[in-house]
Structure 1
Amino acid sequence: MAGQPSGARKYVAKQRDELPPKNLTLNRQAAHYYHLLEKFEAGIELTGTEVKSIRDGNANLKDGYAAVKDGQAWLVNCHIGAYHAGSYLNHDALRDRRLLLHRREIDKLAGRTQEKGVTLIPLRLYVKNNLIKCEIALAKGKTLWDQRETIRRRTVDREAQQDIREHRRKQ
């Protein structure tokens, strides 16, 4: 009997369970002020103190946007606070940061942002495989009427869900 002795077990490498990415920062107002057309995942070129500061939760995407300049995508006006344990080597809080995307994605974004009213906004920063990623979206600004309609629709849906829950409890 060649091969394995009787009773020997085959050990198979366990596949790592895919955990959902951990959100570090969210742009909560993005969905309120914009219609989100298409989402993209981009890496970010960061310094060491920026990475540590983001992991500490010192990032704000609220006023930020992305732009395509000279064939490269940039994250502009996103505030990443100074790292508390950083020295004179700390980073500038509002510097432009390069987004890492494939060439065809950059070309697509450059073409779409030329359309009237379409812009690129950051939605969230998250960790994926120990790398910090940025989710950006092509977006079109909502009018005041659209914003009110979204709130109205959300309220109606919430009330319907509450009615369903109450009806189930009574049964």
Structure 2
Amino acid sequence: MAAAGKTPKKGAKSADDGTKVIATNRRARREYEILDTVEAGLVLRGSEVKSLRDAKVQLAEGFGRIKNGEAWLHAVHISPWISTGLHDRIDPERIRKLLLNKHEIERLGARQDQEHLTLVPLSIYFKGGRAKVELGLARGRKDWDKRQAIAQRDADREARKAMSRRMSGKDAV
């Protein structure tokens, strides 16, 4: 017997929203300070979708650019699908169009120009059967920033360990 109020409605989304992460850009989180994120659709050709579903993508060198009121994704490598013929081959590092609302493009373009920021792809995923890319508006970190972030993360980890030992009673006096 189903609990009251727990029956799913027809056409309702599942709890996980049908999101399947294909690739993440861990390097971007380390090399950049992410100030803002935005979700954008990705314009792909047929065999690129198959390659994405097979996780044949590299985001590490990728970046976004706003040009003539349109958003573009550069230097993201999507390997060609294995069974694609030579006449249907697509350049793996071609520039791909990003689908954003006009006001989002204007906002990102303005911040990018004024604050000297860059757009970096953080992850590519499928959401409801459509390819999406999470873009981060980011500022590059200097080497000392990276070392400082690592030291802060280590200090936080040590503090959490000490608190958990104290709470479990293993460090009792």
Give the TM-score taking structure 2 as reference length: 0.87
Query: Tell me, which stretches of 5 or more residues in structure 2 are unaligned?
Result: 1-6
1:146 and 1:163 map into 2 onto residues whose CA distance is 26
Deviation at 1:61, TM superposition (A): 0.6
2:14 corresponds in structure 1 to: 17
The range that moved more, 97-106 or 110-119, is 110-119
The range that moved more, 86-95 or 67-76, is 86-95
Query: Tell me, which stretches of 5 or more residues in structure 1 are unaligned?
Result: 1-10
Deviation at 1:35, TM superposition (A): 0.9
1:48 and 1:135 map into 2 onto residues whose CA distance is 21
Matched-pair identity in %: 35
For residues 10-59 of structure 1, the C-alpha deviation after alignment (integer angstroms, 9 at most, x for no partner) is x9735442315221010001111111111000000000111110110110
1:64 corresponds in structure 2 to: 62
Q: Does 1:152 align with 2:148?
A: no
1:156 and 1:85 map into 2 onto residues whose CA distance is 50
Give the TM-score taking structure 1 as reference length: 0.87
Paired residue secondary structure (2:105): helix
2:50 and 2:146 map into 1 onto residues whose CA distance is 36
User: RMSD between aligned alpha carbons?
Assistant: 1.7
Q: Against the structure 1 CA distance between its residues 161 and 86, is the aligned structure 2 distance closer, same or farther, given a 3 Å change threshold? A: same
1:109 corresponds in structure 2 to: 108
Letter of the structure 2 residue corresponding to residue 51 of structure 1: V
1:56 and 1:12 map into 2 onto residues whose CA distance is 31
For these two proteins, the number of residue pairs brought into alignment is 161
Q: Does 1:97 align with 2:116?
A: no
1:143 and 1:78 map into 2 onto residues whose CA distance is 24
Out of 42, 50, 54, the residue aligned to residue 44 of structure 1 is: 42
The range that moved more, 57-66 or 157-166, is 157-166
1:82 and 1:40 map into 2 onto residues whose CA distance is 27
Q: Does 1:82 align with 2:72?
A: no
Question: Would the aligned equivalents of 1:117 and 1:141 in 2 still touch at CA under 8 Å?
Answer: no
Letter of the structure 1 residue corresponding to residue 76 of structure 2: C
2:94 and 2:8 map into 1 onto residues whose CA distance is 47
The range that moved more, 159-168 or 65-74, is 159-168
